[in-house]
A and B are shown apart, each in its own frame.
Chain A
Amino acid sequence: MTQKKTYFLNMGPAHPTMHGVIHLILELDGERVVNTEVEIGYLHRAFEKHAETETWNNAIPYTDRLNYVSPLINNTGFCCAVEKLAGVTIPERGQYLRVIASEISRVADHLTCIGANAMELGAFTVFLYLMEGREYLYQLIDDLCGARVTTDYTRIGGVKADLPEGFMDKCRGVFPKIRKLAADSEALLTKNRIFLDRVEGVGVLSQADALAYGITGPFLRSTGVAYDVRRAHPYLVYDRLDFEVPVGSRGDNLDRYLVRLAEIEQSLRMLEQCFTQLPDGPVSSTPWEMKDAFRFEDMGKAGSTALLPRCLAKTCRTLEGSSRSKASGIMVQDPVLAMPSKEQVYGNIEGLMNQFETVMWSWGVRVPAGEAYHAVEGGNGELGFHIVSDGSDRAYRVRCRPPCLFIMAALPKLLNGGYVADVVATFGSVNMIAGELDR
């Protein structure tokens, strides 16, 4: 009589289909996965410790690196949490800009997830289509904040700059292209026998298990729970937008793919509504003269300060919308909390002092003592920030609740009992982002 033997297979940390560095130890019986152990932490960058050592605004760049596929949502989440603790509401236009930024990022996130998942299952065309769509969005993000991935768009008390010239028209030109690409991909995948065989009924998690594991986002919605932070706890201006929360029913790979696909359309709808609802910032009645920022300095040195208030500084392209006439629409006008606009910094002494006070060592933005938790809907679920302040110039403790961690904790439930080949399909469909998982 032969004895049945199981053996171990290491997948990762560096495996082509492990999105990022994560280590799966699979116990196999032939082709069946008997047991799974997930080892994480290969991308641990001590985000929480770093955030304690940096001033409030300086911690924002670290949040870009959490979910690097949708960094604008992380920026928004962190700043919303700090503002909740400080008890400020940012101007309406600023809120809309944050929603616009978040939703563009969410579309990019879902396109990446679907594209990568399809590529791992052999549908390379879909990957190229969706990456093309993401590229259009990355160019929009580049226009908006000057970087494609390391966006760093929000500030405590608002956003860095207003929309650049012609941004909305550009968006309106891009959205039909993305709809077309998503529709083409759907046509290639949704009724494709090869794709369906790999995803239908594979990687199933029951609704009860998903709730027990604290899973949120598209994953939870694919099991039939219509929980969306934007709907359950509307933040910013989401309560004014009309959108549906797509849900699945089976909680398998196919449903996760379909939910993400439907959410792309909903996000685009939300963006279009934002563009029609976007309130104008205060518009100045006097025509401004544009001058290079360094000319301000020269004029100041030459003593012709009387001319300065009538001029606007031409700063870099990415600061296009941060002029004084617009700053009050996108930033809180609070010298304790928010950065002044660049014209004020270059143009008058109060602005310059204010700028120094917000960036100087041991001055900085001051947030009252206390603690706050604020959650936003990230690409993978509820992205929460728990912030404790003791009134000094930096955070006392920042806790990021990464949605991926909860999904990865439930990964053995998804994989055990399946085939080893399905590990790739399932792992791709849950959209693990190592930057967020390991922080």
Chain B
Amino acid sequence: MKFETQTVASAQAFAALRQLKAGDYNVLIDLTAVDYSLYGKCPKPMGWERNFPSGGPQERKERFEVVYRLASLDPATGLEGRPRLSLHVPYDEGSVLLSVMSLWPNADWLEREVWDMFGIKFEDRPEIKRLLLYEEFVGHPLRKDYPVKKRQPLIGPKSGELPDSPSFNVVRQEIPFE
């Protein structure tokens, strides 16, 4: 599987993707993000210098990178006419990234997942809500600053609302971890 890689700034991402869609790339294979805030800062295994004579991976300026993977699939033959394209879009808090829902309908769920997991908000689309987690979830778990052992507050009925079962839906005090 061969890939061409391109990098564009977040402000130009939508225009670039629209152009690619108008070109041959008709399928959005994947849309995801990577949080690079700890890149190169993770604890290194013993003897890692042997693998990186040049000093290891470089830290990045922007915290996130949104990755779009496109394929140009020919429906007649079932083969791909061109190598796949992965479009990398560096993103930081405060950058503007437009939604590509108008180009590919499956971007709706993929953008919801990226919002859910990374807190990257896409502009110019209907209200975005979490895809895999629930609305009361606090934080975005695939960010590197989200601790693996973090506990979430227990959710129950909203205040003033009667619990529908006296034993099941009662809000209990948060259990302190460790």
A401/B75 contact (C-beta < 8 A), A366-B51, A369-B56 known: no
Chain B minimum-CB-distance residue to A392: B42
Q: In the complex, which residue of chain B has the Cβ closest to the Cβ of A364?
A: B45
Cross-interface CB contact of B48 among A247, A366, A384, cutoff 8 Å = A366
> Which one, B39, B51, B67, B69, contacts A368 given CB within 8 A?
B51
A211 touches B109 (CB 8 A): no
A384 and B29 alpha carbons, distance in the complex (Å): 9
B42 near A375: Cβ-Cβ < 8 Å: no
A198 within 8 A of B: no
A399/B30 in contact, CB under 8 A: yes
A residues 329-370 near B (Cβ < 8 Å) are 362-364, 366, 368-369
Interface centre among B32, B40, B134, by most chain A C-beta atoms within 10 angstroms, is B32
A254–chain B nearest beta-carbon distance, Å: 20
- The answer to whether B75 and A41 touch across the interface, beta carbons within 8 angstroms, is no
Interface residues in A, total, Cβ within 8 A:
54
> In the complex, what residue of chain A is closest to B5 when comparing beta carbons?
A371
B29 CB to closest chain A CB (Å) equals: 6
Mask: chain B, 51-67; 1 = CB below 8 Å from A; 0 = not: 11000110000000001
Asked if A227 lies at the interface with its beta carbon under 8 angstroms from chain B, I say yes
Closest chain B residue, CB of each to CB of A362: B45
Q: Is B43 an interface residue (CB 8 A)?
A: yes
| Residues in B neighbouring A363, C-beta threshold 8 A | 45-46
Partner-A contacts on B (CB < 8 A): 1, 3, 26-30, 32, 34-35, 38-40, 42-46, 48, 51-52, 56-57, 67, 69, 73, 75, 77-80, 86, 104-106, 108-110, 113, 117, 130-134, 141-142, 146, 148
> What are 9 inter-chain pairs, A to B, with CB distance below 8 A?
A214-B104, A364-B45, A373-B30, A388-B34, A390-B42, A390-B57, A391-B52, A392-B43, A399-B34
Residues of chain A having any CB pair with chain B under 8 Å: 40-41, 44, 46, 48-49, 53, 207, 211-214, 221, 224-228, 231-233, 235, 245, 247, 362-364, 366, 368-369, 371, 373-375, 382, 384, 386, 388, 390-394, 396-397, 399, 401, 405-406, 408-410, 438-439
Given contacts A233-B80, A366-B45, 20 further A-B contacts (CB under 8 A): A41-B134, A44-B133, A214-B104, A214-B106, A226-B77, A231-B78, A232-B78, A232-B79, A364-B45, A375-B1, A386-B32, A391-B40, A391-B51, A393-B45, A396-B34, A397-B35, A399-B32, A405-B113, A406-B106, A408-B109
